[in-house]
Structure formats: structure tokens, C-alpha cells
């Protein structure tokens, strides 16, 4: 009897995550393009908006990808979560791009293992993490950093993007899996039966 495979879930979430992330970035940065540096659109009054920044004094670019955003390049996050390492610009971007490549390879291998394919939650978690990783990796390669635009200004939360959402949800599912589901599937330790001499 063949066991059910969730490889389709892993692949679907990875492809959906990277696609939605890249499309949302292009749509938002293009629709809010403002060469005077900042573009905003209120989504939830007093709480949440779409917020894009553009680099002051940057050279205008005729390259294909920048045309989709507008001739003035977007301001990007060179670092990681909460802007970690962003003050080092090129070094930080190169480091985190390298980490993303290694993570994508490791997740790709992990996601195709037989034991992973049979696990719904683990396949979903890894698919989301891979999608988020690839979305931000694309930005690091093309723009030299990650484009962010989702801003909960009610609590002044750092600006983020859809790839970050995939990474956080995927990491949460992975933690849930490690703490609860993985523990349930571990076989109980064998207890040797007492030997009675007769």
C-alpha cells in the first residue's frame, strides 16, 4: 500500500509564495512610484498602510527590472529581520544572499525526502519557508537588497513584505511540528520484559 505524498503541497506553497511576493512588490512599488522619495496608501486607517521608499540621489536606471518599479530605484533593506546588519549594505546583502542560497538548497533537499513527503505540516512549513527565501533572494540579486512595503505603523513595526510573512508562518509551523507533531510520531522506547528463571 502506497503512503500519501504531500510533495504537491511543498511545491505549490513554494511557487505560490515566491510568485505572490514578487508580483505584490512590483504592483505596489509601481502603483505607488514617487520620485520625491516616499509613496503611501492607507489600507486600515490609523493602523496599516502600504509604504514605499525610493533612494534619493540614486542614478536613474533603464534596466528591465527597474522599469517595472519606475526609473528611480527603490530603497531596500540590505540586512535581515528588523534591519539586522543593514548598515553594512553590500557586505550584509552578500552575506544574507549566500545564507539564502544555502537555505534554499537545504530546504529543497529536506522537502523531497520520503519522510517529509508523508508529513502534511512539515511539507507546508518547508514550502512556505522556501517560497519566502526565494522571493527575498531574488531581490538581493536584482536590487542589492530586499524591497519592503507592508507597514503596521500603529505599533511602528518594521516594514516587511509577503516573503517575510511566508518565512514567519513557515517557521511557526516548523516549531509547532517539532514541539507537538514530531513528538507524537516518535516510537515509544522498548521496555525489556523481565526474564523469569524457572
Catalytic residues: 148, 164
- The owner of cell 529581520 is 81
- The owner of cell 502534511 is 120
Grid cell digits, residue 68: 517595472
Grid cell digits, residue 115: 519522510
Q: What are phi and psi of 66, to 5 degrees?
A: -70, -30
Residue 50 and residue 33 in contact, taking contact as beta carbons nearer than 8 Å: no
Any alpha helices (H) in the chain, and if so which ranges? 7-31, 64-69, 90-111, 114-117, 120-143, 162-176, 182-185
Amino acid at each position: 500500500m502506497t503512503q500519501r505524498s504531500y510533495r504537491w503541497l511543498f511545491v505549490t506553497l513554494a511557487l505560490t509564495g515566491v510568485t505572490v511576493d514578487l508580483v505584490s512588490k512590483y504592483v505596489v512599488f509601481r502603483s505607488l512610484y514617487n520620485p520625491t522619495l516616499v509613496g503611501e496608501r492607507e489600507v486600515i486607517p490609523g493602523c496599516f498602510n502600504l509604504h514605499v521608499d525610493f533612494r534619493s540621489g540614486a542614478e536613474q536606471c533603464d534596466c528591465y527590472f527597474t522599469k517595472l518599479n519606475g526609473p528611480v530605484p527603490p530603497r531596500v533593506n540590505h540586512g535581515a529581520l528588523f534591519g539586522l546588519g543593514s548598515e553594512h549594505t553590500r557586505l550584509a546583502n552578500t552575506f544574507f544572499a549566500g545564507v539564502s542560497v544555502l537555505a534554499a538548497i537545504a530546504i529543497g533537499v529536506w522537502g523531497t525526502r520520503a519522510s517529509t513527503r508523508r508529513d502534511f505540516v512539515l511539507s507546508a512549513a518547508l514550502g512556505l519557508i522556501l517560497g519566502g527565501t526565494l522571493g527575498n533572494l531574488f531581490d538581493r540579486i536584482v536590487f542589492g537588497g530586499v524591497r519592503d512595503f507592508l507597514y503596521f505603523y500603529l505599533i511602528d513595526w518594521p516594514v516587511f513584505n509577503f516573503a517575510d510573512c511566508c518565512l514567519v508562518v513557515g517557521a511557526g509551523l516548523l516549531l509547532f511540528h517539532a514541539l507537538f507533531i514530531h513528538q507524537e510520531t516518535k516510537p515509544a522506547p522498548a521496555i525489556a520484559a523481565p526474564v523469569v528463571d524457572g
